[in-house]
Amino acid sequence: MSTVEDAETLLARMTLGEKALLLQRVARDLGDAYPGIDVLDGVSGGQACVARTRVPVWTLEHARRLGATEVDILRAYPGLRAEDLANAWAYVRAHRDEIDEQIRANEAA
């Protein structure tokens, strides 16, 4: 049984009050989460990447700053979708300093 299936089983047994409390805790835990963007230890040095890929968000933003259009980026990364770019741009807006630093570090390397 998967973790999600285990959670569904537990949810079925919970009172509304318990579910509300759980929802509060989950919302607090997801406070800095971005749909379609993963930050995983051991993947791209723990940098933010497009989900299902190992494409770092900073790489996409760097390409955009160098003048690449979204069409250019999607052609260069055929596994990406327009939705992935929208998610990446949202992450960049919220984490500008982090992305700027990653671009600087990789330019210097």
Cα(93)–Cα(23) distance, rounded to whole angstroms? Answer: 27
pLDDT band at 29 (very low <50, low <70, confident <90, very high): low
> Is 6 in a helix, a strand, or coil?
helix
In the chain, how many domains are there?
2
Residues 12 and 47 in one domain: no
| pLDDT single digits (tens) 36-79 | 999 888 888 889 999 999 999 999 999 999 999 999 999 999 99
Assess contact for 98 and 56: CB atoms under 8 A. no
pTM over 0.85: no
Mean pLDDT, the chain, rounded, equals: 90
CATH number, position 57: 1.10.10.10
**Which element (helix H / strand E) includes 38?**
strand 37-38
| Same domain as 77, residue 101 | yes
The answer on 80 and 41 residing in a single domain is: yes
Contacts for 46 with CB less than 8 Å, ≥ 6 apart? 39, 40
Q: Are 64 and 85 within one domain?
A: yes
* 8 in the same domain as 56: no
Whether residues 104 and 57 fall in one domain: yes
Residue 79's domain comprises 37-108
Q: In the structure encoding, which two tokens stand for residue 61, read together?
A: 């933003």
